[in-house]
Amino acid sequence: MRILIIGGSGQLGSDFLKVAAGRHEVIAPPHEQADVTDGQAVERVVLEHRPQVVVNAAAFHKVELCEQDPARAFQVNAVGAWNSARAAKAAGARAVFLSSDYVFDGEESGGYREDDPTRPLSVYGASKVAGEHATRIACPDPLIVRGSGLFGHAGSSGKGGNFVETMLAKAEAGEAISVVDDQVFSPTSTHDLAERLLLLLEHEAPPGIYHAANSGSCSWHGLAREVFAAAGVSADLSPRPAGEQPVRRPRCSILLDTKSAPLGLAPSRPWQEALRWYLEHRTASPPAVS
């Protein structure tokens, strides 16, 4: 399969390149050639390479900055989704859009199925909902794949790392660490998310929304506690309520996977296993993007 990924140098894109190596041909044009906000540039590079699949892994995802600059958030996450999906259609390719658990309002304590109604609480969440709709409108057979609380070895370019690395750095510095304990989600390894995305493509999954988080759930405090336990690190860790936050976040954004079994796919491994794998492979270098 010939796959073009936009945002290939990011946290998810880097793991996608690793997972796909030896299985498929993957093209990852640099940002200056395929800025997702530049529709003409995206279409030009997609038509040049004529892939069978266009994966849009580009995102503006720092939620506080999205509130401060909603125009930028929608330009990247919604207009960018439109641009990449339209380019995919022009090339006769399938479009893939990476979305988020923040499309939900967090009021369902048992978590969310793929087709549950969306009700975002933030500009970031709203821009991802808009990106989902734009992708469906622009391309006839898209895959919309949601993750939650991503962690990968490339870190997150917009956030200067990821939660796991932030916790380990704070512990190493001897800081007292207070972490929110009343927001529950499904931590997701970008390696496992990339693997799930490839499996969906390889199994020719029907168009629609798919939840690709690791199985299980926890609070941010629960994730921090497991990070320290798995890494064998002592830390001064305490829970705290979310309280008033500059940006509202869902209280429960557990992503339920109801579509893997009908496709004959095993569920994603538990997040604890994915976290241990991540810690064991922390020295792995991300592949170069060409």
Report the catalytic residues.
124
Cα separation, 152 vs 158, whole angstroms: 13
Task: Please give the C-alpha separations between residue 278 and each of 153, 188, 219, 272, 287, in angstroms, as whole numbers.
Answer: 7, 11, 19, 10, 16
CA 14 remoteness from chain centre: 12
The one-letter code for the residue type at 262 is P
The closest alpha carbon to 145, from 88, 181, 198, 93, belongs to: 198
Cα separation, 72 vs 59, whole angstroms: 10
Do 184 and 218 form a contact (C-beta atoms < 8 A)? Answer: yes
